[in-house]
Each structure stands twice: as C-alpha cells, then as structure tokens.
Structure 1
Amino acid sequence: MTDKQTYTDLFLPAKMGAFTLLNRIVMAPVTRSRYAEDGVPGELHATYYAQRAGAGLIVAEATNISAQGRGYAATPGIWTEEQVEGWKNVTDAVHGAGGKIVLQLWHVGRFSSTELQPNGEAPVAPSPIRAEGNTYTTEGFVPVSMPRALESGEIPGIVEQYRHAAKNAKRAGFDGVEVHSANAYLLDQFLRDSTNRRTDQYGGSIENRARLTLEVTEAVVDIWGGDRVGIRLSPVSPDVGNTPPDSDVMATYGHLIRELNRFKLAYMHFVEGATGGSRDVPAGVDLDALRALFTGPYIGNNNYDLDLAIRRRAEGKIDAVAFGRLFIANPDLVERLRRGAALTIAPRESYYNGGAKGYTDWPNGNY
C-alpha cells in the first residue's frame, strides 16, 4: 500500500444503512446486454457478479420492473417467476463469495421502441415528447418511438410495478434495492420540466414533478425498510435522449432530496456531471450543495479515479465511491486499487452483447 493510500479509509469496513460493507468501493450498475429475450439471469451472470464480490457493495445492472419498463433488448427483468429464480442463483453466488448486492429498479419511460413494448404499444412518458437517438432491439438499432403521456389514473399502476419488483427482489435474495431516478429515464423524466409538461398533480410545480419519485420510494421502502433502499440521481446528466436538465436544478433536486430524508435511506447514489462523461456542471449548479442536503450516506459516481476518491473522502464529500467501467476488466478492482496495481482498460467493443468473452474471462491482477 502506498503512503497516499495509508491515509484513507476507503478500504476499511463501513456501515451504510443496514449494510455492513467490506470497504467503501461500490460497483456501479453497468448494463452489459447479455441476456436472452426473457430477461432471465443464468450461470454466466452468477459467475460475473461473484467475480466482483470484493466490492463493498454491488449495485446490479439496471433491471426492468415490467415488460412496459423495457427499453433495450438483452437486458434483465424482475417481474416474472423465472427471472426471480435466475436472480436467486446470482445472489447466492455473490453471498457465497462474501459480497453484498442490491438490485437497481428501472423503468425507461419514453426511451423505448414499439418493437420492445408489449403488443407493439407506444412507450409511456410524463408527456408526449419524443427522445432523440436510437435504441437496441433484436433486429438491431432503431429510432426511439414517440411516447404517449400516462393518464393520471395509470400512475398508481406504475407505483405498483415498482412495489411488485421490490417484492420480487426480496424473494430473489438481494440485500436491498436501488430506485433508479436518474439518467433521464421515467422518474427523472417526471422530475425535469424539460420532459414534463403535465397539468395534473404530477406536473407543473416542483412538488408535483417530484411526486412520482417520492411515491415510488415510499412503496419500495414499505417492502424493504428505508435502511435497505438507496436511490440514484443525476441532476445534470443528459444521458439518454439528449435530455435537457431541469430549468432550476438546485430548486427541483433540492426539494426532492429534502423530501427523501424522511425515508432514512441507506444511501443516495449521485452522478456528478454527465453519466460516463464530463464532471463539469452548468453555471449556477452546485452538486456538493445538493449533496449536503442529504442526511444519509452518499455515494459519489462519475469519472472517479483513486486520487479523486481519496481526496473527496478526506474532505468529507463522499462516504463511498462507485466505479462502473473499471469493474468490467478488473474483477478484483478493490484489491488492485488497494495495492496500487495496474488496471486493465476494457475496449468498448467488449461492453455490450456476446457471451463469456469480455465478460467473465478477465483475469485477476498479478500483485
């Protein structure tokens, strides 16, 4: 261990909510697109996650809460019995390797195609505003479809989809769940006034636009208890669909974070900047000020290296740090970081699709 690393507690056990973690290094949710159309995890996925059980906490890749919530082919689900059974093998493997794993609950909202939706229906969204870009189907990449606005009476059904998925995650043996309210997917689409033009109780004011995320969080907490639930937010990330941020990031996300405090969540997982990109933020936005509003543990995410993680931990800005892409080619990432060992950088062509190659065939480091 280098002298620099001697003065950090990132590699020491930590407590977050009900979780007792081996260290403060988190594996971020990383979509790898290696599932059949039924979204059922298999032995390959169990091997992949167990290899990375040295992380203090694994946040399993974004997982569709329903057939309606699906926006990409080859992604996993948690709404069928077969999916629950498949995930049981994964959680058993991770626990057998000494790790902790939570499931990220995902509804893509408008970023989908009729080719991926049940009966070829239009994707749903807060408002009928089409996203930019293409999504992946079994036939290849296609433009995302025009969404339809959810009727007010349908929204309780969306909350129930999250509740059902949270119950299934518990049955599948996860240690907890993470509510995906980031990256311009459904819950984030309701939050941002750039994608929410509603005039009912879920649109207009900040309080109304935050309502769905809070209702979903409450439903999930009812199943798990707050100390086993986290939430992911990305206030300025354009991510899918080139989605503009809210017109008043500080007010909107400030309100949401203050309201989330009542649930006493295990953690808030924050994308600092543009997901997978720059850490820069627009003028007038102070992510550290938003972070300070949250009364629970905070996981920093986005383009961290060890030096940045050590510095922000020393400054009290983070309680844990999440790495995503570095876990792809470094299953033993925590040990490599601790020892100052060389890191392998995965080529982008290994990120998505395929089988074991580029997925479970990365070796541990030579220490």
Structure 2
Amino acid sequence: MEAIVSTDDAMDGELDFTSHTSSNFPAVLAGLKLSLAVTSYQAHKLFFVRSDGKKIDINFKDFPRPMGLAVTPQQITLGTLHQVWRFRRSDAALDLVSETLAEKTAADACYVASACHTTGLVNIHDIAYGNKGLWIVNSNFSCLATLEPDYSFVPRWKPSFISDLLPEDRCHLNGMAMLDGEPAYVTTFNQSDVAKSWRDGVKDLGTLIDVKTGELKLSNLVMPHSPRCYNGYVYFCESGHGLVRRYDPRTGDVVDVIKLQGFTRGMDFFGPLMFVGLSKTRNSSVAEPAPIAQESAESESGIWCVNLTDHTVVGFVRFEGNIDQIYDVAVLPGVMYPELFLPDDEQSMTVFNFPPLTDSALAKAGVTK
C-alpha cells in the first residue's frame, strides 16, 4: 500500500520519496487514534505520519538537522542543528490550515511556533521534559544539560570518565531515558576521554549507564541508542545489530525484543505497542561499518510497530528514496491528523496566546483604572 506525501510542505531541495505500508498500518493508527512525529536529520525533515483509516499521509516540515523530540499533550519540542524549538498546540489556528490540506482531510490538532533557544553546535541528540524543565543530551560536550535563557546550556551531569567539558564528542553520549522526572539511564558508544575516539575505534564498546549512581549497567554494546524506561524495564536499541533489547534493572537480565533489517534508532510506546525507527545502513566517517551492514547488503528505513507481549511485528511503513536515516519517533496520542506551522509561516505570526488583563494584574503593575 502506498502513502500520500504532502509535498506543499517539502523543503526547498528536491524530495525523492515514496512510502509503502503493511495493509493494516493505516487502520492501526486510526484505530488507536494517534499519529507519529518523526525526525530525519539526513533529509532535514520533521514529518508526521498520519492516517484517515484507509491510507497514510506523510506531511513534511523543513528544519536544519532535526534530531530529538519531546512531546507533551500541549506541545512538541524539537532539537535541531543549533536551536531548540517549542511548538504550542493551538487548535484555534485550525481555521488557518490551507485549503489544499482541508480538501484531503480535516486536521484535528495544530502546533504553532512559540519559543526558540539557541544552543550553538552542541550536537543535540535525545531531549525530554523532567523536573528541571527540558533536558538535552549534549553529545558535543559529553554531558546532560538543561536550558536557561542566559546560557547556551547548563551542564547537569557527565559520565565519571569524562574529565572536562570540551566540544570534542569524546564518547558519543547520545541517548537518555527519563524516570520520575529525572534522567535515569544514558547510552554511549564507548568510555573514552579522547576527542571523537568512537569514530575510529572498535564498535562493541557501547554502554548503558545509571545516571544516579554512575554505575555501568551494560557494556560491550554495539552503537546503542534511544534508551526508554517503560513498564519497569529499560528498552534500548543496539543499533549496530538491528536490535531492540529490554533490560530489567531488578534482575540485570537482558532480552532481545526484536531484530529488524536496518539500524534501529528512535522509540516510543502506546499501551502494549512499541513504535521503533529503522534506518538504512550507510557509508560514513566512522571507520568500520556496523555489523548489521555486514550481515546483509539490503537494509530498510521506516517505522515498525511491535507487539511487546509476543515481540511480533504488528505493521509498518517503509520509506524509499532520500528519507533513509531516522533519528527519533514520538507518538501523538489522541491526535490523528496534526498540522504544524513553521516559525516563518504567516499563520504563526497571526496566532496569539495571552492571559486576560485582570484587576489584580493591573494592581500588581501599579496601574489604576
């Protein structure tokens, strides 16, 4: 089954893209009343995977190197090349959705640019909301950080083996799992304190680290990404093997959930289902290819839906063309057909959000009627 592509929102460069889905995937999304937000840093795209129950629609938005996603009921936050953007849900803006889109189907949620923080080139990876606001994985400085207006970032934690906060991407700290509002686990490619050592080194030195204790929980992982705490377990991608794995912090046991034909990265959950991103293997500046690339000449890109009860594939959407690298995947529950206005869109400039002017506000400002 093919999907519809909303080309009116494509980036300025040529978009070479098609997609195919399992026959049930449109009905799966519609039946669950959800859509997916996905980032592809290689294609400079944030996009939504939407369904009307019969077909999939892929709606693209252009950003420089979009990476981590953090979703709450009222906003979508996106980390990009050197900025973090927040988009506030504003369904009043639905009236401004283009007539072209309205003819295809009615959008049921709208997100409007509301804030931006410039971080500089920190090589942002995972992002997530916690008790101290938005946490980011600052891969360039090998640390976890939060954001404050007066600073590019505020360092909050680093692995014990990292001696200095320098923009050297020493261990490729990339993934972050939150638990009870605090970072709980991170993934790294190695435990080196040498600039960009992970690019030229062996592939099986990856780690899963307990943030609170600094304890190394798992080692000898191959290019791990996307740790997520869910239902008492820590799920993570051992990307170099095309695996999604499950770590039990109570027993230390590790179970392989599923092996897919590609580089696993990006993960979110809904009930008993897991949505995981899959990227094609590729040539890069990393010296030695991942094992998954050596196992098969063919690899796939897309989003796979997996049943966590029996570890089977429920459905999928597969991408072809130049959307071949997926970084993050986020579920938008209760939203079937989202629309997002870019910061420079005219619609973003004509949607306003402000509290009422009350007598108490006037009095606090020292103003009398």
TM-score, with length taken from structure 2: 0.35
Q: Which has the higher strand share?
A: 2
TM-score, with length taken from structure 1: 0.35
Q: Which has the larger radius of gyration?
A: 2
